[in-house]
Amino acid sequence: MAFRLKKIRTRPKRKVNRSWFGTLLIFIVLGLFGAFMALPLIYTINNAFKPLDEIFLFPPRFLVRNPTINNFVDLFNLMATSWVPFSRYIFNTLFITIVGTVGHIILSAAAAYPLAKHHFPGKNILFTIVVLSLMFSPHVTAVPNYMTMSFLGWVDTYWAVIVPSFAFSLGLYLMKQFMEQIPDTLLEAARIDGASEYRIFWQIVMPIVKPAWLTLVILLFQQLWGTDGGNFIYSEELKTMNYAMGQIIQGGIARAGAAAAVALMLMAVPIVIFLFSQASIIQTMSSSGIKE
């Protein structure tokens, strides 16, 4: 597909009419707050590689002196002897995140395409409801959702966590706003060539909105990667990595090294994904605004 959406223009050099003092101030402000933002993360990275004696050093030291991967070895040893092997927690988290994310991207893109490009009665009402649903948090619906899940018999299965995430409203909203930029002439040309709407959606629209997929991946990671199964998952073998981390942390001093290792694993994956998809995400966000 040769066609691409308008890329974000790199900013042409604007004349900086700022005093050196202003520049200094900006650097100081960004430096201070940047440190505030980054230090806990740097600490997590360092801690994961600290040998035990450094973790309990007093006064505490921030950076690691003699890095070691013992904590990771400990973690897997510890979890190999436990009732549910640690790899199972990793699998659960991966399964929930991947199925939830892929399902959400496909379903919300399918719903966003008609909302963005077709004209049919009820379109505005549906989209208004979606925008309104951004205005309250999922906590509001937690109680009825629990009842629904127990009615469906989904309590204590992966589906109780995965299926509601398919219909996460922020994803549909961003997808629809992004799709509006696709030129109608392109779709019209495909229609004249005899492509069905489903084919247009799958073969033309989906490849174009790739930046929006990546944005949805990050958003869903925010929701699912850190899930502890909420109130839905009770069986030990279905529990997630985040839940396991909570258990290890509660193990106290003896488990501090292993806890630091899990923390790093949980933290690193979403950040690495963002690292590689940043440009696409910013591109998607440029169409995120609520229009009057």
Partner 1 sequence: MLQSKVLDEDLPMLHDRNREQKRKREQSLFQKVKVNLKQHKHSYVLMAPYFVLFFMFTVLPVIISIVVSFTYFNMLEFPRWVGWHNYARLFLEDDVFLISLKNTVLFAAITGPLSYIACFIFAWLINEFGPKLRAFLTLIFFAPSISGNIFFIWLIIFSGDSYGYANGMLMRLGIVYEPIQWLHDAKYVLAIVMVVQLWLSLGTSFLAFIAGLQNIDLTLYEAGAIDGIRNRYQELWFITLPSMKPQLMFGAVIQITMSFAVADVSMALAGFPSVQYAAHTIVTHLIDYGTIRFEMGYASAIATILFLIMMLSNLVVQRLLRKVGD
Question: Which CB, 196 or 235, lies closer to partner 1?
Answer: 196
Q: Which of 52, 98, 163, 186 binds partner 1 (CB under 8 A)?
A: 163
At closest approach, how far in Å is the CB of 245 from partner 1? 8
Is the Cβ of residue 81 or residue 137 nearer to partner 1 in the bound state?
137
The least distance separating partner 1 from the CB of residue 192, rounded to whole angstroms, comes to 16
In terms of Cα–Cα distance, which of 182, 183, 209 is closest to 105?
A: 209
Give SS3 for 287: coil
Q: Which stretch, 67-75, 76-84, 123-131, 178-186, contacts partner 1 (CB under 8 A)?
A: 123-131
Q: In whole angstroms, how close is the CB of 205 to partner 1 at the nearest point?
A: 10
> Residues 179-218: x/- map of binding to partner 1 (CB under 8 A)?
-----------------xxx--x----------------x
Contact call for residues 111 and 172 (beta carbons, < 8 A): yes
Closer residue to partner 1 (CB): 56 or 80: 56
Length of the chain equals: 292
Tokens of 150: 């127990």
Selected range binding partner 1 among 71-79, 80-88, 166-174, 181-189, rule: CB under 8 A: 166-174
**Cβ closest to partner 1, residue 28 vs residue 73:** 28
Six-digit token pair at 166? Answer: 């398919």
Query: For residues 217-276, which are near partner 1 according to CB under 8 A?
Result: 218-219, 221-222, 225-226, 228, 231, 242, 245, 249, 263, 266-267, 270-271, 274-275
CA distance 230 to 159: 12
Q: Taking the complex as a whole, how short is the minimal distance between the CB of residue 75 and partner 1, in angstroms?
A: 16
Encoded one letter per residue, x for contact with partner 1 by CB under 8 A and - for no contact, window 134-153 reads xxxx-xxxxxxxxxx-x---
| Smaller CB separation from partner 1, 80 or 231 | 231
At residue 215's C-alpha, the angle toward residues 213 and 221, to 5°, is: 100
**What is d(CA 269, CA 273) in angstroms, rounded to the nearest whole number?**
6
Position 196, amino acid: S
Nearer to partner 1, 79 or 277 (CB): 277
Say if residues 217 and 240 touch (Cβ distance below 8 Å): no
**Window 5-64: residues binding partner 1 (CB under 8 A):** 8-12, 14, 16-18, 26, 29-30, 33-34, 36-38, 40-41, 43-44, 56, 58-60, 62
| φ/ψ (deg, to 5) at 18 | -125, 145
Residue-wise DSSP of 97-147 = HHHHHHHHHHHHHHHHHHHHH---TTHHHHHHHHHHHTTS-GGGGHHHHHH
In the DSSP assignment, the letter for residue 177 is: H
Measure the CA–CA gap between 232 and 120, rounded to whole angstroms: 38
| Cβ atoms within 10 Å of 268's Cβ, excluding its own | 14
Size of the site for partner 1 (CB under 8 A): 99
Binding mask of the shown chain, residues 63 to 82, with x at each position contacting partner 1 by CB under 8 A: --------------------
